[in-house]
Structure 1
Amino acid sequence: MMNNKISVREVLVEDAKALLQIIPIIDKETEFTLRGEGEFRLSLHEEESFIRNILAEPRSVMFVASCNDNIVGSLGFRGNNLTRYKHTGEFGMGILKQYWGQGIGTMLIEHLLSWSEAHDIRKINLKVVETNIRAIKLYERFGFEIEGVQKNEVKIADQYYNLLSMGKFI
């Protein structure tokens, strides 16, 4: 995979079809997503509408990561419009498993941090399952800190797991 050309950019409405193809795969490949396998059910029209809403919202953004011009992951950030919370927002991301370990998560977060500074976002939050050590280490490398624990918040199969709230003040 040394010849792979990886890039990150803001999402386009035209990316909806490719995202609809990879999101269910990501959900199937890892137990760390919000959804379980088969729970993502947006139509092409609904996904296009979702992207249009993100593009129209000045405090929200979505980035897609591509490898050789094929979308292989994404990061979505939802900002807050309430006056007292306008400086904050929360993100989540997913990457196809075959592309893990290639720096894509790092690139997505770097783009988010740069975008956040330019859009007056000063606090970035996320939630992560306590057993997702790879992701936690990635977030910690960028200065995210564990700020709270939601006990037994996630049920995977018959096991309950804590959900960690992490944040970074820019």
Structure 2
Amino acid sequence: MILEQQVFNVKEMNYSIRSAEEKDAGELSSLRVQIDGETENMDREQGEAYIDEAGFAGIIRVDAHKPRNLFLVAVVQDRIVGYARCEGVDLQRFAHKVEFGVCVAREFWGYGIGKKLLEISIHWADTAGVEKMTLNVLGTNEKAVELYKKVGFEVEGMMRRDRMHTDGQFYDTIVMGRFRSRA
């Protein structure tokens, strides 16, 4: 699915959010590796599950044509600084839902970019007839959990000792879901 660009100004910084384009693939490949190394909140260690430029181009191409997929990028001064993706599945029993994920480069935290990517994704899902959005979040990422709750997500479960980080400790993953707003 393709969405039109929207422009925002927060704390004297202009940024835009738009659908990803194939020309973004190389930059997205690098950004993903960068972000994975900036926070423990991601599922991957830096460089794991690497997606190269061709891989991202393929994802963008597929997402542009699937009505249950959405791939957004946040851009500051012609530089991609974050992205969000909603991915549906082709199985009929699960066609009513999408899984949401978001990430923003650490340098751009505090400008509401992740929240805006989330809000636009929710609006798209509600207007596209998606009945349920799901996501997984690191159990210790309290700020993200609270944000998700504020926009209508509920905790649906906990996967205990689901992941092990570089500190050798196990961490829980919270499973959250949000049902379509009918307002």
TM range (shorter): over 0.9
Deviation at 1:83, TM superposition (A): 2.1
Equivalent residue, structure 1, for 2:67:
58
Aligned to 2:106: 97
RMSD: 1.4
Supply the distance in 2 between the matched residues of 1:8 and 1:15 (Cα, whole angstroms).
13
Between the aligned partners of 1:68 and 1:123, the Cα distance in structure 2 is 34
- Letter of the structure 2 residue corresponding to residue 25 of structure 1: Q
1:152 corresponds in structure 2 to 161
Between the aligned partners of 1:153 and 1:161, the Cα distance in structure 2 is: 6
**Is contact 1:23-1:40 (8 Å) kept?**
no
1:125 alignment partner in structure 2: 134
Mapped partners of 1:78, 1:41: distance in 2: 18
CA contact (8 A) 1:26 1:96 kept: yes
Determine if contact 2:139/2:174 at 8 Å carries over to the other structure. Answer: yes
Q: Give the residue type in structure 2 aligned to 1:54.
A: D
Which SS does the other structure have where 1:102 is aligned? coil
Match of 2:4 in 1: none
* Runs of 5+ unmatched residues, structure 2: 1-9
Does the aligned pair in 2 maintain the 1:24–1:40 contact within 8 Å? no
1:3 to 4, 7, 12: 12
Aligned partner of residue 89 in structure 1, secondary structure: strand
Distance 1:78 1:44 in 2: 19
For 1:9-40, what per-residue CA distance to the aligned partner results, in whole angstroms no more than 9, with x for missing partners?
Answer: 11111111211221111000001111101214
- Tell me which moved more, 146-155 or 81-90: 81-90
**2:115 equivalent in structure 1:** 106
CA contact (8 A) 1:77 1:92 kept: yes
1:88 is matched with 97
Partner residue in 1 for 2:152: 143
Q: CA deviation at 1:82?
A: 2.2
Q: Which amino acid in the other structure matches residue 166 of structure 1? A: M
- Deviation of 1:41 after TM superposition, in Å, equals 2.2
Tell me the SS of whatever aligns to 1:5: strand
Distance 1:99 1:91 in 2: 20
* Number of residue pairs aligned between Structure 1 and Structure 2: 170
Gap regions ≥5 residues in structure 1: none
